[in-house]
Amino acid sequence: MNSIIDTILNHRSIRKFTEQPLIAEHLDMIIDAARSSSTSSYLMAYTMIGVTDPEKKAALASISNQPYIKDNGHFVLFCGDYHRHMLKANEQEKVTMAYNVQSTEYFMIATVDATIAAQNMTVAAESLGIGACYIGSIKRDLDLVSDLFDLPEHVVPLFGLALGYPDEQQEIKPKLPKEAVYFENTYKDDVAHKAALEQFDKTIETYYRTRTTNKREDSWTKQMVKTLHNQRNDRLTPFVKEKKFNTR
Amino acid sequence: MNSIIDTILNHRSIRKFTEQPLIAEHLDMIIDAARSSSTSSYLMAYTMIGVTDPEKKAALASISNQPYIKDNGHFVLFCGDYHRHMLKANEQEKVTMAYNVQSTEYFMIATVDATIAAQNMTVAAESLGIGACYIGSIKRDLDLVSDLFDLPEHVVPLFGLALGYPDEQQEIKPKLPKEAVYFENTYKDDVAHKAALEQFDKTIETYYRTRTTNKREDSWTKQMVKTLHNQRNDRLTPFVKEKKFNTR
């Protein structure tokens, strides 16, 4: 064990922050951590937009239905981005490039590039005592997010990171055990896989029954059935295509 | 600055490893780091498959056209996964769940979940002196990857991580500067964006002209035009859909 692994193992999402904005030096360090990330084919197919404008933060809080976004120290929107790559290309080159980046593969690459950067930013932030929470629920209205930040074609918002100095100490939420998420040389057979999940369900039942707040009766597998019965936002698929991603 | 940020800033991909397998304790620690990751709606929609079987490593090296995969200390395949979530559901529940997870949104969620875990594993590995390299090129033949590891429906391979004790010391490759990748409150206008890229092109021209090996004349924007003119693997889009991801 070392301090790095310790920081990663001690991760918990922070949703309550002091009003203090990020110290400028801290912000620069976590941006540098994000910029240092691995990238596929040197594409660096992502953009970060730091949000400090109180009106835009309020709008994001409302879109995401996460009020604490407007009271945090900082917010960073992560986007997949191929706009930049075409800026210096000629018109003919742009046509081919614009066609190619619309494949599923280039959509995956941009999503992976953006996420590696976001997780480096998160680990760097946590090492400085900054709390972080991924905000996937900006996807509830991507049209509005796009309008707010003037995103051109070939730029698609993926998720946000709420950042700030913590004003709470959350418990660490149990995660799937090694036996349920890490397999050796082949995918796990269903019988062993189910047994691992049943074991985890027992852990989770106890966790929900005994945690400090929001006690309830639930298990992981039951919760997943409920979650995956929720229809997600049907506007997302056409939105992504209108931004010229994932069309083919 | 602290040792965590230092580790992140000092990242370089390692492609030459000693033959030493990962120390069991190191492997457990980096798996735990991956397992501790943030996840959307508690889904943990990913699976890791550790590969030690020499024949499977050789097959992956051939698929990816990256010979060092067979000579590394370890390899981990990262997959998006909703198979697990349906294991304990009844037949009727499964139908609805299987339909829902085929949306673009759930495909993004699985890709993001897997990538956060992979980057936590990478940072944890580097903190232990283990080198790592993302292997996106397993996507050259996902049918074969799927066959190798017996992946069921609702499990899609995304990328691999080659891991091992480094047998080389690579230079750090320059990344896009803050001005080209981090914007404030709105997307950057094209004139300022282009100016930032021109500045970066100068850095890159010098880097390619003066680095220790593979010296050449190139700039980032020129390289991007070439890269995005490459047709990628046309089999990827239908493969992903056949695995019941991203169909709608």
Q: What is the mean pLDDT, run by run of 10 residues, along chain A of 248 residues?
A: 89 91 96 97 98 96 94 94 97 96 97 98 96 96 98 98 92 94 97 97 95 90 95 91 97
Give the residue on B whose Cα is nearest the Cα of A198.
Answer: B88
Domain boundary among B126, B153, B170: B170
Q: What are phi and psi of A166, to 5 degrees?
A: -65, 140
What is the pLDDT, as a whole number, of residue A11? Answer: 92
Neighbouring C-beta atoms of residue A233, cutoff 10 Å: 15
Tell whether B54 is within 8 A of chain A (Cβ): no
Q: Say yes or no: A33 and A111 in one domain.
A: yes
Q: Say yes or no: A26 and A46 in one domain.
A: yes
Q: Say yes or no: A106 and A210 in one domain.
A: no
What is the token pair recorded at A227? Answer: 């979650």
Domain boundary among A140, A171, A202: A171
What is the pLDDT, as a whole number, of residue A230? Answer: 85
Q: pLDDT tens-digit profile of B50-76?
A: 999 999 999 999 999 999 899 888 999
Interface test with A, best of B23, B38, B243 (most A CBs within 10 A): B38
Residue B37: inside a domain: yes
Q: Residues A97, A235: contact at Cβ < 8 Å?
A: no
Domain that holds residue B201: 178-227
Q: Residues A138, A63: contact at Cβ < 8 Å?
A: yes
Residue A196: inside a domain: yes
Q: Say yes or no: A148 and A185 in one domain.
A: no
Interface test with A, best of B182, B201, B226 (most A CBs within 10 A): B182
What is the pLDDT, as a whole number, of residue B50? Answer: 98
Q: Say yes or no: B145 and B197 in one domain.
A: no
Q: How many domains does chain A have?
A: 2
Q: To which H or E segment does residue B100 belong?
A: helix B91-100
Residue B14: inside a domain: yes
Q: Say yes or no: B41 and B158 in one domain.
A: yes
**A28: CATH:** 3.40.109.10
Q: Residue A181: its chain B contacts at CB < 8 A?
A: 35, 44, 46-48
Of B36, B38, B122, B50, the residue nearest B79 (C-alpha): B50
What is the pLDDT, as a whole number, of residue A171? Answer: 85
What is the pLDDT, as a whole number, of residue B5? Answer: 94
What is the pLDDT, as a whole number, of residue A108? Answer: 98
Cα distance between residue B84 and residue A194, in whole Å = 8
Cα-based distances in Å from B138 to B49, B58, B66, B117, B134: 14, 12, 9, 18, 10
Surface of B (56-75) touching A: CB under 8 A:
56
Q: Say yes or no: A100 and A188 in one domain.
A: no
